[in-house]
Chains A and B, each alone.
Chain A
Amino acid sequence: MFAYYLELAFRGLNRNRVLTALMVLAVALGIGACMTTLTVLHVLSGDPLPGRSGSLYYPQLDPRDMDAYTPGVEPPGQLSWIDGMYLLRAKRAKRQALMTGGMVPLQPEQASIDPYHSEARYTTADFFPMFGVPLQYGTAWGDAEDQSKARVVVISAELNNKLFGGKNSVGKTLRLQATDFRIIGVMGDWRPNPHFYDLYMGSYADYEEVYVPLSTARDLHMDHDGSTDCWGNGNTGGQDNLEKAPCTWLQFWVELDDPSSVAAYRSFLQHYSEDQRTAGRFERPVNIRLRNVREWLEFKQVVPSDARLQAWLALGFLVVCLINTVGLMLAKFMRRAAELGVRRALGASRRALFGQLLMESGVIGLVGGLLGLVLALVGLWAVRQQPSDYAKLAHMDAAMLLLTFIVSVVASTLAGVLPAWRACRVAPALQLKAQ
Chain B
Amino acid sequence: MEIRPILSSLHKHRVPALLIVLEIALACAVLCNAVFMIGQCIAGVRAPSAIDEQGLSVISLGGIDEAHVESGMARNLAALRAIAGVQAAAAISDVPLGPDIWYDGLTARPDEESQINSSEYFLGSGGEQALGLKLLKGRFFSAEEFADSTLLPSHVSSSHVVLINESDARRMWPGESALGKQIYGDNAAWTVVGVVADVLGQDPNGNGPAGMYSSIFFPQRPSASLNHYVVRSAPQDRDRVLRDALQVLGKLEPGAVLEGKIYADMRADYFADTRDMAWMLMMVCVVMLAVTALGIVGLTSFWVGQRRRQIGIRRAVGASCANILHYFQTENFLLSTAGVVLGVVFGFAVNVYLMENYEVSRMPWYYLGCGALALWLLGQGAVLGPALRAAQVPPVVATRSV
Contact = CB atoms under 8 A, between A and B. Distances in A.
Do A and B pair up? The answer is yes
Contacts of B295: 22, 26, 323-324, 327-328
A103 B63 CA distance: 10
Interface stretch (A269-277, A283-291, A302-310): A302-310
A324 B15 contact: no
Interface stretch (A70-78, A183-191, A232-240): A232-240
B135 interface: no
B63 A117 contact: yes
Given A319-B26, A327-B299, A335-B302, 17 more contacts: A19-B298, A26-B291, A114-B258, A115-B257, A116-B257, A117-B63, A233-B154, A306-B273, A310-B280, A316-B30, A320-B30, A320-B288, A323-B23, A324-B295, A327-B295, A387-B276, A388-B276
A19 B288 CA distance: 18
Contact of B19 (A233, A330, A387, A434): A330
Interface in A355-405: 386-388
A236 B295 CA distance: 67
B257 A434 contact: no
Contacts of B291: 25-26, 29, 320-321, 324
Contacts of B34: 313
Contacts of B20: 327
B393 interface: no
Question: Interface size bucket, A side?
Answer: 35 or more
A105 interface: yes
A156 interface: no
Contacts of B357: 305
Contact of B154 (A29, A117, A236, A323): A236
Contacts of B209: none
B207 to A, nearest CB: 15
Contacts of A114: 257-258
The 8 closest A-B pairs by CB, nearest first: A105-B63, A331-B302, A324-B295, A327-B19, A387-B272, A236-B154, A327-B299, A323-B23
A423 B357 CA distance: 42
A296 interface: no
Interface string B142-162: 000000000001110000000
Contacts of B27: 320
Contacts of A310: 277, 280
A334 B302 contact: yes
A139 interface: no
Interface string A200-244: 000000000000000000000000000000000111111001000
Contacts of B284: 33, 313-314, 317
Contacts of B237: none
B16 A316 contact: no
A235 B152 CA distance: 11
| Residue from A22, A331, A334, A387 having most chain B Cβ neighbours under 10 A | A331
B63 A22 contact: no
27 contacts: A26-B294, A26-B295, A29-B287, A105-B257, A115-B256, A117-B63, A235-B155, A236-B154, A309-B354, A310-B280, A317-B287, A317-B288, A320-B288, A320-B291, A323-B23, A327-B16, A327-B298, A327-B299, A328-B299, A330-B299, A331-B299, A331-B301, A331-B302, A335-B302, A335-B305, A388-B272, A434-B402
Interface of A: 19, 22, 25-26, 29, 33, 103, 105, 107, 114-117, 177-178, 233-238, 241, 305-306, 308-310, 313-314, 316-317, 319-321, 323-324, 326-328, 330-331, 334-335, 386-388, 418, 422, 434-435
A46 to B, nearest CB: 21
A330 B300 CA distance: 12
A103 B301 CA distance: 65
A331 to B, nearest CB: 3
A143 B276 CA distance: 47
Contacts of A103: 62
Contacts of A313: 30, 34, 281, 284
A418 B29 CA distance: 24
A237 B153 contact: yes
B292 interface: yes
Given A117-B62, A117-B257, A331 B30 contact: no
Contacts of A434: 402
B175 interface: no
B174 interface: no
Interface residues of B, number: 47
Nearest to A233: B154
B255 interface: yes
Contacts of B30: 313, 316-317, 320
A234 B187 CA distance: 11
Contacts of A115: 63, 255-257
A24 B15 CA distance: 21
B272 A386 contact: yes
B266 to A, nearest CB: 13
B358 A309 contact: yes
Contacts of A328: 295, 298-299
B345 interface: no
A308 B353 CA distance: 13
B272 A107 contact: no
Contacts of A234: 154-155
Given A117-B62, A238-B153, A330-B15, A323 B26 contact: yes
B8 interface: no
| Residue from A26, A309, A320, A388 having most chain B Cβ neighbours under 10 A | A320
Contacts of A330: 15-16, 19, 299, 302
Given A234-B154, A335-B305, A386-B273, A107 B63 contact: yes
A381 B302 CA distance: 38
A16 to B, nearest CB: 10
Contacts of A26: 291, 294-295
Nearest to A418: B15
A381 to B, nearest CB: 14
Contact of A236 (B19, B153, B288, B305): B153
Interface in B273-325: 273, 276-277, 280-281, 284, 287-288, 291-292, 294-295, 298-299, 301-302, 305-306
B359 interface: yes
Contacts of B358: 305, 308-309
B271 to A, nearest CB: 10
Contact of B402 (A178, A235, A435): A435
Contacts of B302: 19, 330-331, 334-335
Contacts of A177: 63
B373 interface: no
A318 B276 CA distance: 21
A321 B295 CA distance: 9
B397 interface: no
A313 B277 CA distance: 12
| Residue from B272, B281, B284, B295 having most chain A Cβ neighbours under 10 A | B295
Contacts of B280: 310
Contact of A387 (B22, B154, B273, B306): B273
| Residue from A234, A237, A327, A387 having most chain B Cβ neighbours under 10 A | A327
B244 interface: no
B269 interface: yes
A107 B257 CA distance: 8
B298 to A, nearest CB: 5
Nearest to B269: A387
Contact of A306 (B63, B277, B402): B277
A388 B270 CA distance: 10
A244 to B, nearest CB: 13
A309 B255 CA distance: 45
